[in-house]
Structure 1
Amino acid sequence: MCSQIIDYGFPSGEGRRRKKLWELDKRLHCSIIGTCLSMGDLRVIERRLSIAPLKGTSDFQIHGNFVVWAANPGPAAKHMHKMLDRRYGVAIRRFASISTPDELTRLWDKCLEEADIPGPYWALVSHPESTIEIIMPAFGQVHMLSHLVGAANRADIRRLSTLQDERDELEQNVRDAKRRLAEQDRHHRAMLYAHAAELQKLSEHVAATAPLKQQLEAAEYRVAELEQGVIIRSLRAETIAGRGDLKRAKQLARELTNRLEVSADENTALRKKLQDELSEKEAIMLECEALESVLRDQIDSGDCSERRSECLNSGLQGRRIVYIGGRNTMIPHLRTLVERSGAIFLHHDGGLEEQTKRLDRLLSQCDAVFCPVDCVSHDACLRAKRKCKQRATEFVPLRSSGLSSFVAGLRQLSQTLAAGQSALP
């Protein structure tokens, strides 16, 4: 890759088609395959073509074989060309609107500044207007970036130990949260049962007042029949006593009714509180499960960039994801997750430091928008939501600006996109 490139043999003029992979200078093939395709992609082509000599060989040998095959229009080169065009269709269409060398150079510099390399690099070298003066600087920049990526991988190994410690802490936090939620659930259920028993007792007390009323009516009837004597006085005394009992019974009935209404209101409030806590519990558990899945993938299988098609969010390849707001300390981690899923991460601080014009420009070019509701301006969030509705773009509100909410949002977006593709004829 370090050998000097003298001439690519690109003719000048207009109206030509894009170049095929095998039509490019063969000294470009190493950088194209190493930058724009992962080892997982090459393994997929290997299995599709049943290339026996590659089985059991090292990644370096597989890479070298595909670099050689890229120079000839055979099955391997054609599969690689189709995979590149399909994966980086967005970048190809973006570069297709460019017709002059100066515009090509400016667009490439912009993509390089945004850390958007694989798709724009393939679109640039295969563009019909690309010349040696355009490709040579881009080739050198990509070559130097490969050295920087190697250094970054060594830093990733050091971060892996830190991530393992964080994973253990998160697992303990999840276990503690599950235990607390279970205790709260048992407490709330016990309270519900106690209130139900109290309601039953109150209902029985109310029903017990009915015979008192019947007894009073019977006593009044007897008084009406008797006109004189001790019996009348006795019955009148009984009647007065019965009326007092009835008055007290009515008072007790009113008190019991009031207590019943208060208990019913408390029961309703407790049910709503329990439902809210269960919903929050379910959201937290889903976020924890998504985060645990990502951590397991990183720990069990190493660098996700080498098997991107098998990762958690494999349906996101080539997608441009805009993240609005959030905490600046989390942005590098979020960018890493998105790029390891094969997508493109773009960030806007929500208007605190950057102008809203750039936000509108990002929203007009993206495939999905993530917005943490706890760490973004209200105006920026509403603006993004309106734009997404106008353009039929996926809008994913996040419960918080934490890593677990972002991972859960990526999983939701991946499933939504996968469902939309499966519904197509």
Structure 2
Amino acid sequence: MHTPPFRLAQPSHLKLSGDELAGTGLRVADPCCTPAKVSFSNTKRRARLAELDGQLHCSIIGTCLSTHELRKLVPKFTGLDRRDASDLEIHHSAVELAIDGGAGAKALHKLLDEHYAAAIRRFDKAADDVELLKLWDEALKSGEIPPAYWALMTHPCATLHVRQKAFGELHMLSHLVGAANRADIRRLVALEAENAELKEKVERQQSRLQEISTQRDAAIAALNEQIAQLTAVATRQTTADPSDLEAEISRLRDKLADSDQRVALHTSRREAAEQRTLQEQGAALALRKSRDQALAQLLLVQNECDALERATVDAGDNSNGAQTRQASLDSVRGKRIVYVGGRPGSNAALKRLVEAAGGDFVVHDGGVEDRKGLLAAALPGADIVVFPVDCVDHDSMNTLKRVCERHQIDYHPLRTASVASFVELVDRLRPEHLAQLGNSPPSAFCLRHG
């Protein structure tokens, strides 16, 4: 504050006119910041705006009236354009109107009184400058500065000291507000950036929500259509003729009965097929077993035929005077063979073959003509005991088995009582086979008890 808010006394020799000041190079003081031409009287009434010091007008108008309010009022008393004039031009013109004290000053004073009537009534209760400053301090603490400033400046008890104090505090407060505004501007820039980011995020979310809403509406429409279709089907089923339903039920029952009959028929056929399959499997197994037996018997008969053929060839060679011995009957040379059972014709032929080969052939018919008691006596001296299983009784067979095992004599059953079966056995009992027969296991018969 370069100039105090009160009128300075000037000596008469320093009072110069405007032209004289221009000649000296000094600038004429701006009415906004120069003392007022009039001073208010000391009567106990509220001071008018034009009566206040000119330096107070700037702070009063700038603090207590907004630019919007000034733009509506100032152009009525000046030649300024409401839209094109700057805020500084509006403010400067308002200060000039207040200093001039004309109709413009009265309009400004009336506007201020209307705005701050409540504060004026509250400050009117102050009886002296002490109470006035107390109310001012309370206004500073509460932040209600514009109404308190106008009420204090026009109060009847407002002295020069009171106005200076209020003006100075308001002046310093403007500096603090400016510094705070700079920090607020920085925060405002950061908040604007954050606000832009949040707006972009909100727009993305709105777009996503719109997309989800569209999908939801489509799904709801599809479900509604499906519900309508199902409702139509249910309605058709509900409104169907009962006779048609009974006919349908009867048809389904007949179809079910027919299906049951078919199932029963196929079940019986399946069971019969399973039984036939089991029978066929049994028959196939029996045929396979019979075939195996036939093959084994065929092989045995083939061996018998081969052995008989060799023996016949050897016998023919001997009858022609050949000096070769019968190689097929070499295994019976020097052996005593007991033959139990058989038929008389084949037994005689066998006896001639064995004796021709150099062996001893003893025949026992198994009790047909020979006594069975002679069987046990004939067996102990034998080297080999032979009996055909198709021409011997079981008693004789059991007796010879028991006696042979007791005396450790080899016994061999024959398939038949034919010459071929005997010749095949003799062929198998050649020396290499007899070596194996000599290692037979010990008899299981007891020598005392049989």
TM-score range, shorter chain: 0.3 to 0.5
Kindly indicate which of the two structures has a greater share of residues assigned to helix.
Answer: 1
Which is higher, the Rg of structure 1 or of structure 2?
2
